[in-house]
Amino acid sequence: MPVADINGLKVVYQRTGTGAPMLFIGGTGWDLRQHPNPMDSILAQQFDFVHYDQRGMGQSDKPPGPYKMVQFATDAVALADCLAWERVHIVGYSFGGMVAQELAIRWPDKVMSLVLCATTAGGAGGSSYAIEKFLALDPIDRARKGLEVADKRFTADWQAANPDEAAVMISRRMKRQVEFIDHPGVREGLVAQLHARAAHDTYDRLEQITAPALVLVGENDGQAPRVAQENMAARIRLCSLQVLPGSHNFIFETDAAYHAIADFCDTVKN
């Protein structure tokens, strides 16, 4: 994978496709080596598409924390500059949506359009669930609790009625969350990222976003509450909101989100 030298960091990224530039900013603990990821989507075919491991994650550098959200946003802008992109479609999922908000507020001229998936603004608008609480749990309980928060359908009653399917889902999530956790710096990077996430609050500054924006909500998302996403969308000047089937992880569950993103960005003129 190519490496960009930005802000004193080596940042690993992937690039594919042709068309208008699009930068995808992933969620908590994301790693390009894990699949599925957006590189497998239609976005990677219809746009000049880049996805990357943020600081503290994946194969990118992991400087000592704590981190601040503005550092993640600065890294994203620096990567776009390194790619010689003057203006770019910004897509942020979950934690990446928080980074995308900070970017769009501070560098409005850089943003062609803004898509915020399964994310919140924090502050008076409402925050996403404090998932840093899960780190103290053993891997199985952490995976189970994460699923219960991410998907409002994954209740104790549903698990009791569908034990085999529940066990598979828990096992799959547990494997993903520990896959690289023992690699140098990964655990520390995750903690530093969650520190920035806990302090996230753009709500009172959302009106500074000038780019056309789209908020995508999973109808069964319990991690990023729908009311908080609605509050965020209402605060952004040129913003629409669309509710899609699925949980907090709706982008992995069907192709609907990727098609919605592509359709929206195609309507935005350079």
Closest CA to 186 of 59, 92, 72, 85: 59
Of the listed ranges 72-76, 117-121, 178-182, the one predicted with least confidence:
178-182
Residue 270 has pLDDT above 70, yes or no: no
H or E element: which one contains 239?
Answer: strand 239-244
* DSSP string covering 29-60: T--TTSSS-GGGSTHHHHSEEEEEPPTTSTTS
pLDDT tens track for 200-228: 999 999 999 999 999 999 999 999 999 99
29 pLDDT higher than 80? yes
Average pLDDT over every residue of 20-31: 96
pLDDT at 43: 97
Q: What percent of the chain has pLDDT over 90?
A: 96
Half-sphere CA count of 248, side-chain side, radius 13 A: 22
**What domains are defined for the chain?**
3-131+184-267 (3.40.50.1820)
Q: pLDDT-based confidence at 152, cuts 50/70/90?
A: very high
Q: Strand locations in 38-142, DSSP E? A: 48-52, 88-93, 111-117
Given a cut of 80, is residue 149 above it in pLDDT?
Answer: yes
Q: In the beta sheet, which residues pair with residue 11?
A: 4
